[in-house]
Amino acid sequence: MSDVAARAGVSHQTVSRVLNNPDQVRLDTRERVQQAIDELGYRRNGAARALATARSRTIGILTIGNAHFGPSSTVNSVESAARSRGYFVSVSSLESSGESAAHRALAQLVDQGVDGIIVVAPLMDVAQVVERAAPSVPVVVAAANPNAEPTKMVRYVCVDQRAGARLAVEYLIRLGHRKIAHVSGLDSWIDASERLAEFRNVANENDIEALEFPADGWAAADGYAVGLQRAEQIRSEQGPTAIFAANDYIAQGLLRAFWECGIRVPQDISVIGFDDVESSEYFIPSISTVRQPFDLLGQAAMEALTSVQLGDAPTGGRFEAVLEPELIVRGSCAPAPSTQS
């Protein structure tokens, strides 16, 4: 470290701050130190640093794996935000659903000596485990848990799932749709239950006919199965004129099923999804959707974790940060057939 300090023309304390608390150092000084580090090929001794500071500079991420777009995007965002603050990241994926698996995964991260844990697993079971675990390290849960109860060691951040559902359904109502179906996700997921609840609220407020078509999962195949099953109903006068799908993959599956059945989107039925996965823009028609700010969610989670580490009291609300989703209008929605000229 002394060689780096001499090369950069700063004290070794400044080098230490750049390595451990870069936000406390001016940008030009950080750049000068980083250049010296690169030129000298300096590498920190993690074990020695942990012994000296009683901190590992490692953040644990508890997740459900990479099979789902929302959680995997959030994990990527958290990793990026953590590394930009000088933290290493250790990821632990749940081996199965249920409380026992969540307990084991949390314990594994604590045993690794992480400085804090960010939970990216929007499942009811996992949320309950975190609330009851009385963790010994700071924990931030990235999920829109309506029963969130922040404590000294546990905080919550989220994207407002209800606001996103409201954006989607109110958009369909503005297009003149009075009979709207929701193809819902798995009810064990917080996101799915929140979107379904707000779908019902908006339908009641606007006195529209609301239909519910549960899917067996989040994949395009699940949307495809629902589309085939409901095709005859959609063709009939009793069927919906618009569908709000719980995510974009379900919406993609619906489009394929409707195409096979000769149901035109959006002429016969409008379809809107949720998440804004990259491929949705390139379908024919391109899929209208609700975009979640996953990049900001990772930053908010790291800021909340830092707040707990500093001993700051909860903000007073259930969530340290609530991020707003965005309506993305594309080609899969049109005015209701009876309102078209």
| pLDDT greater at residue 250 or residue 89 | 250
Please give the C-alpha separations between residue 183 and each of 51, 93, 220, in angstroms, as whole numbers.
Answer: 52, 28, 12
The burial of 197, by beta-carbon neighbours within 10 Å (0-12 exposed, 13-18 middle, 19 or more buried), is given as middle
Partner residues linked to 89 by β-bridges: 59
pTM of the model: 0.80
- Matching residue, tokens 């900001």: 296
Q: Can you give the pLDDT at residue 50?
A: 40
What are residue 312's phi and psi, to 5 degrees?
-65, 145
Alpha carbon distance 160, 333 (integer Å): 23
The fold of the 2-44 domain, in CATH, is 434 Repressor (Amino-terminal Domain) (1.10.260)
Q: Under a CB-based contact definition with an 8 Å cutoff, are residues 154 and 141 in contact?
A: yes
Q: Can you give the pLDDT at residue 4?
A: 72
Q: Domain residues of the chain, as ranges?
A: 2-44, 56-159+293-324, 162-291+327-339
CATH number among 3.40.50.1220, 3.40.50.720, 3.40.50.2300, 3.40.50.1260, domain 56-159+293-324: 3.40.50.2300
Q: Can you give the pLDDT at residue 249?
A: 97
The fold of the 162-291+327-339 domain, in CATH, is Rossmann fold (3.40.50)
Partner residues linked to 289 by β-bridges: 328
Number of Cβ atoms within 10 Å of the Cβ of 287: 27
Alpha carbon distance 90, 108 (integer Å): 10
pLDDT tens sequence across 212-239: 999 999 999 999 999 999 999 999 888 9
pLDDT tens sequence across 265-280: 999 999 999 999 999 9
Domains 2-44 and 56-159+293-324 share a fold: no
